[in-house]
Amino acid sequence: MDALAEGSIAATIATAAEVLGWICVIAGAFFCLVGGIGLLRMPDMFTRMHAAGVTDTMGAGLILAGLALHEGFTLITVKLGFILLFIVFSSPTATHALSQAALAGGLTPWRKGEPRDSEVYSTGPGPSKEEKATAREEASSKG
C-alpha cells in the first residue's frame, strides 16, 4: 500500500472511533437521565435503588467507555478503565448491602395498591404493615 492509502485508513479509523465515542457518551447521558427520572418517580426505596444502579453501571460505564474511545490508547484510557472497574464492582455491591440492611431493618418492598412511601412518610422506614393493609382496603373499596 502506498503512504496515501495508509493515511486515509488511519483517518477513517480515527473518525470511526470518534463517532463511536460520542455515541457512547450520548447513550450514557441518556441512561443517567432515565435513572435520575426513575429516582424521582419510583414508589419505594428498593425500586429507587434499581434506578440508581442502572445510572451507576450503564450510564457512567458508557460515558467512561466513550471518553476512552475518544482519547485513544493512552495513560488516560488506563485510568478511565480503572475507574470503570471500580464502578462495576462497587455499585452492585453497595446496592445489595443497602437493600439487605433495609430488609433487616423491617422495610418491605412496595406492592401495587399500597401507598407510596412518600404518601405516608417523608422520611423514615416507610408505612407499617397495618398502614399498608388499611391503605389496601381503602383502595379496593374505592375501585
Crossing angle for the helix pair 3-41 and 60-71, nearest 10 degrees? 160
Write out pLDDT tens, residues 86-125: 998 888 888 889 888 888 887 777 777 666 655 544 445 6
Write out pLDDT tens, residues 62-82: 999 999 988 888 899 999 999
What does the alpha-carbon distance between residue 140 and residue 133 come to, in Å, rounded to a whole number?
11
At a CB cut-off of 8 Å and minimum separation 6, what does 40 contact? none
Q: Which residue from 20, 50, 45, 16 is spatially nearest to 34, judged by alpha carbons? A: 50
The pLDDT assigned to 30 comes to 93
Residue 111, C-alpha cell as written in the block? 406492592
